[in-house]
Amino acid sequence: MLSLAFFFVLLSPALALEVGVEEVSEEIELGETDIRIIIARIINVFLGLLGIIALLLILYGGFLWMTAGGVPERVEKAKKVLINAVIGLAIILTSWAITWFIFNVLLGEGGVFGPPGERPTGPPPTYESFSSALGNGIVDYHYPPRGDTDVPRNTKIMVTFKREMLIESIIEGYDDNDTPLDTSDDTSSELLNTDNIKIYRTADGEDAHLREDQVRVRFTDDLQSFVFEPGEWLGSASEDVSYTVTLGPGLTRADGEDAFQGALSDGYQWNFEVGTFVDVTPPRVRSVFPVAGEEYPKNVMIQINFNEPIDPTSATGHSSRFTNILVEGGGVVLGSFAIANQYKTVEFIPDEACGTNTCGGEVFCLPGGVDIDVTVRAATMRSGEEPAAVFPYNGIVDMAGNSLDGNDDDTAQGPPDDNYAWSFSTSNNVYIAPPGVDSVNPGPGESGVAPDLPIDITWDVLMSLSSMNGANIMLGDNRTDDLSVWYTLDSDSLAEDGSPAEGGIPPHHTKTSIRHGIFLEETQYYPEIFSEVKDVYQNCFSPAATRNCPKDRSGAPWCCDVAPSSSRTAGSCLGIPTKER
pLDDT-derived band at 126, boundaries 50, 70, 90: low
- Which of 209-213, 395-399, 478-482 has the lowest average pLDDT? 478-482
Task: Give, as one character, the DSSP assignment of residue 551.
Answer: S
Q: What would the pLDDT profile of 274-313 be if each residue is shown by its tens digit?
A: 999 999 999 999 999 999 999 999 999 999 999 999 999 9
- Which of 48-52, 230-234, 271-275, 445-449 has the lowest average pLDDT? 445-449
User: What mean pLDDT do residues 101-129 have?
Assistant: 58
| Tally of CA atoms within 13 A in the half-sphere of 434 that contains its CB | 22
Q: What is the separation of C-alpha 535 from the centre of its chain, rounded to a whole number of angstroms?
A: 19
Q: What confidence score (pLDDT) does residue 223 get?
A: 98
Q: What is the separation of C-alpha 464 from the centre of its chain, rounded to a whole number of angstroms?
A: 16
Query: 251: closest CA among 166, 157, 153, 351?
Result: 166
**Cα 337 to Cα 361: distance, rounded to the nearest angstrom:** 19
Percentages of the chain per state (helix, strand, coil), in multiples of 5 = 20, 30, 55
User: What mean pLDDT do residues 322-332 have?
Assistant: 97
| Residue 110 pLDDT > 50 | no
Q: What confidence score (pLDDT) does residue 356 get?
A: 94
Contact 246, 206 (CB under 8 A): yes
β pairing state of 335-340 and 191-192:
unpaired
Greater pLDDT, 56 or 32: 56
pLDDT-derived band at 525, boundaries 50, 70, 90: confident
Q: What confidence score (pLDDT) does residue 117 get?
A: 44
Residues shown for the chain: 581
Give the dihedral of Cα atoms 563, 567, 571, 573; nearest 10 deg. Answer: 90
Q: What confidence score (pLDDT) does residue 568 get?
A: 33
Query: 343: closest CA among 386, 385, 380, 314?
Result: 314
CA distances, 292 to each of 296, 299, 373 (Å): 11, 16, 9
Give a three-class secondary structure readout of 355-394: EECCCCCEEECCCCCCEEEEEECECCECCCCCCEECCCCC
**Cα 563 to Cα 119: distance, rounded to the nearest angstrom:** 43
Greater pLDDT, 231 or 19: 231
CA distances, 246 to each of 94, 199, 270 (Å): 52, 7, 7
Beta-bridge partners for 476:
526
**Cα 191 to Cα 291: distance, rounded to the nearest angstrom:** 42
Beta-bridge partners for 514:
455, 489
CB neighbour list of residue 451: distance below 8 Å, 6 or more residues apart: 2, 31, 126, 518, 519
Q: What confidence score (pLDDT) does residue 257 get?
A: 98
User: What mean pLDDT do residues 491-499 have?
Assistant: 95
Query: 126: closest CA among 106, 108, 101?
Result: 108
User: What mean pLDDT do residues 20-37 have?
Assistant: 42
Give a three-class secondary structure readout of 18-40: EEECCEECCEECECCCCHHHHHH
Contact 341, 490 (CB under 8 A): yes
CA distances, 291 to each of 151, 302, 374 (Å): 33, 10, 11
User: What mean pLDDT do residues 547-573 have?
Assistant: 44
What order do you get walking across the sheet with 525-530 strand by strand? 5-10, 15-20, 525-530, 473-477
pLDDT-derived band at 137, boundaries 50, 70, 90: very high
CB neighbour list of residue 251: distance below 8 Å, 6 or more residues apart: 138, 165, 166, 169, 170, 196, 197, 258, 259, 260, 267
**Cα 446 to Cα 452: distance, rounded to the nearest angstrom:** 15
Task: Give, as one character, the DSSP assignment of residue 65.
Answer: H
Contact 335, 329 (CB under 8 A): no
Task: Give, as one character, the DSSP assignment of residue 505.
Answer: P
CA distances, 242 to each of 200, 237, 386, 492 (Å): 9, 13, 28, 29
β pairing state of 420-426 and 295-296:
parallel
Contact 16, 447 (CB under 8 A): no
pLDDT-derived band at 6, boundaries 50, 70, 90: very low
Give me the architecture of the 285-426 domain, per CATH.
Answer: Sandwich (2.60)
**Cα 103 to Cα 367: distance, rounded to the nearest angstrom:** 66
| Residue 24 pLDDT > 80 | no
Contact 453, 442 (CB under 8 A): yes
| Residue 217 pLDDT > 90 | yes
User: What mean pLDDT do residues 78-106 have?
Assistant: 79
**Cα 251 to Cα 167: distance, rounded to the nearest angstrom:** 9
| Residue 114 pLDDT > 90 | no
What order do you get walking across the sheet with 455-459 strand by strand? 437-441, 455-459, 509-516, 487-494
CA distances, 241 to each of 159, 199, 244, 280, 281 (Å): 21, 13, 10, 20, 21
Greater pLDDT, 573 or 220: 220
Its sign, for the CA torsion 139, 141, 146, 150, is: negative
Q: What confidence score (pLDDT) does residue 2 get?
A: 27
Average pLDDT, the chain: 84
**Cα 214 to Cα 204: distance, rounded to the nearest angstrom:** 17
What percent of the chain lies above the pLDDT cut of 90? 61
Give me the architecture of the 133-274 domain, per CATH.
Answer: Sandwich (2.60)
| Residue 572 pLDDT > 60 | no
Task: Give, as one character, the DSSP assignment of residue 202.
Answer: G
